[in-house]
């Protein structure tokens, strides 16, 4: 089976954890920490789960989504980890190795891995704030599991200064695995003053870029943040080689109002698009990105939106919906896209990326998206 097909199936169906895999998995592999959400079924049989699964030999990284109903299983056969479908071995797999810096501390005694985490097999993630004001005020996005996630690690930092991030990041880069080409910074809104919120996150991104420069490391810095009300604040990121990523989620206005009630009260869909256009004008070509979620609206609307954004100069990364337990999406039984739909959209996105010369491999290249595969143009539609 083509490995992009395997990734699509695992993002659609998830995977069961066999007893053999449960017993064998552990250190030195990277274990799931659930900073934001919990995409797994509540009963998985183990708290020690892979954060990500690496398909061999392609090294494609897929989110570890554990569902007991899946036809896929993660197993150990002849001492090696494999994924099987209906008990037939499909692919050998491995997992990211826990980086050395996970055991290190800053000068003030803070664990580095409470600030910096290893993502996607190639990125350092800095999750600045694992809460969100929209959620705390009762207006979360209907697929968000921040409020529902009771398994969030208690060692995650809830507020970070630029100085703290710089120190932790410096330690991480001195002790990484040599494959890091992206620093991904993300976090929820601290308050409803979106200008202050944006300025704070921008300072973190600028500090991270300075560390990369000091270390003489050619690493992309991507900031995923809610946009400011004052457009001129975007100038903070101008000419700094920092990518801005805005989670726009869906394209059709009624869907946006329904699925993102907190965001919709802060910004209309038109206002959000205005911010995106201004961001392209200020930050330049191939510096502005959006997140959209496949499964919340029709694939036709989704692809029309991706094309329209591309014409604006905005590159869209398409995540696959995972209805996390105790979220509206889970309770309403919103269906997860089928593997065929995932592959079709990814192939269409790949064509759009080619037309506009977009490449998200080193600015994101995520585990819940086929954006890296689309950027590399290695998506194959399943033969019928």
Residue-wise pLDDT for 344-364, tens only, equals: 999 999 999 999 999 999 999
Banded model confidence at residue 47, pLDDT cuts 50, 70, 90: low
Residue 81 pLDDT greater than 80, yes or no:
yes
Tally of CB atoms within 10 A around 42 = 10
Of 68, 94, 120, the residue at which a domain comes to its end is 94
Banded model confidence at residue 80, pLDDT cuts 50, 70, 90: very high
Kindly state the average pLDDT of the residues 256-279.
Answer: 94
259 found inside a domain = yes
pLDDT given for residue 89 in this prediction? 94
230 found inside a domain = yes
Residue-wise pLDDT for 58-78, tens only, equals: 999 999 999 999 999 999 999
| Same domain, residue pair 213 and 80 | no
| Same domain, residue pair 89 and 232 | no
| Cα-trace Rg, the chain | 20
Kindly state the average pLDDT of the residues 234-263.
Answer: 95
Residue-wise pLDDT for 302-325, tens only, equals: 999 999 999 999 999 999 999 887
| Same domain, residue pair 294 and 275 | yes
384 found inside a domain = no
| Same domain, residue pair 256 and 354 | yes
| Same domain, residue pair 236 and 285 | yes
Residue 35 pLDDT greater than 70, yes or no:
no
| Same domain, residue pair 90 and 231 | no
| Same domain, residue pair 76 and 173 | no
Which of 343, 363, 340 shows the shortest CA–CA distance to 351? 343
118 found inside a domain = yes
Question: Percent of the chain scored above 70 by pLDDT?
Answer: 92
| Same domain, residue pair 79 and 127 | no
Domain that holds residue 13: 3-94
Banded model confidence at residue 384, pLDDT cuts 50, 70, 90: very low
Of 53, 68, 94, the residue at which a domain comes to its end is 94
| Same domain, residue pair 85 and 107 | no
pLDDT given for residue 176 in this prediction? 87
| Same domain, residue pair 113 and 225 | yes
Q: Domains in the chain: how many in total? A: 2
Question: Percent of the chain scored above 90 by pLDDT?
Answer: 74
380 found inside a domain = no
**Domain at 133, CATH number:** 3.20.20.70
| Same domain, residue pair 83 and 135 | no
| Same domain, residue pair 106 and 88 | no
């Amino acid at each position: 089976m083509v490995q992009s097909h395997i990734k699509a199936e695992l993002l659609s169906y998830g995977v069961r954890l066999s007893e053999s895999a449960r017993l064998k998995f552990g250190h030195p592999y990277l274990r799931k920490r659930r900073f934001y959400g919990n995409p797994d079924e509540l009963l998985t049989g183990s708290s020690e789960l892979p954060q990500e699964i690496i398909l061999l030999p392609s090294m494609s990284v897929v989110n570890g989504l554990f569902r007991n109903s899946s036809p896929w299983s993660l197993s150990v056969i002849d001492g090696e980890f494999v994924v099987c479908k209906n008990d037939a071995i499909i692919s050998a797999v491995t997992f990211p190795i826990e980086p050395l810096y996970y055991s290190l501390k800053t000068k003030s005694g803070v664990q580095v891995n409470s600030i910096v985490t290893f993502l996607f097999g190639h990125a350092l993630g800095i999750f600045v704030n694992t809460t969100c004001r929209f959620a705390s005020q009762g207006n979360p996005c209907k697929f968000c599991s921040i409020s529902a996630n009771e398994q969030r690690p208690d060692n995650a930092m809830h507020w970070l200064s630029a100085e703290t991030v710089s120190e932790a990041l410096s330690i991480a880069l001195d002790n990484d695995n040599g494959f890091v080409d992206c620093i991904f910074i993300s976090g929820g809104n601290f308050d409803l003053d979106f200008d202050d919120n944006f300025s704070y996150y921008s300072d973190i991104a600028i500090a991270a870029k300075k560390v990369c420069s000091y270390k003489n490391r050619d690493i992309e810095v991507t900031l995923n943040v809610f946009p400011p009300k004052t457009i001129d604040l975007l100038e903070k990121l101008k000419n700094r080689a920092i990518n801005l990523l805005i989670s726009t989620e869906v394209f059709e206005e009624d869907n946006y109002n329904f699925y993102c009630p907190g965001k919709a009260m802060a910004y209309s869909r038109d206002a959000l698009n205005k911010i995106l256009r201004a961001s392209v004008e200020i930050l330049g070509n191939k510096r502005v990105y959006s997140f959209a979620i496949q499964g919340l609206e029709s694939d036709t609307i989704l692809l029309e939106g991706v094309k329209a954004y591309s014409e604006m100069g905005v590159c869209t990364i398409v995540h696959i919906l995972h209805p996390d337990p105790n979220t509206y999406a889970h309770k309403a039984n919103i269906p997860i896209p089928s593997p065929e739909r995932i592959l079709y959209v990814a192939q269409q996105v790949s064509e759009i990326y080619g037309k506009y010369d977009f490449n998200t491999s080193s600015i994101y290249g995520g585990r819940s998206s086929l954006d890296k595969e689309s950027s590399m143009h290695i998506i194959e539609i399943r033969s019928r």
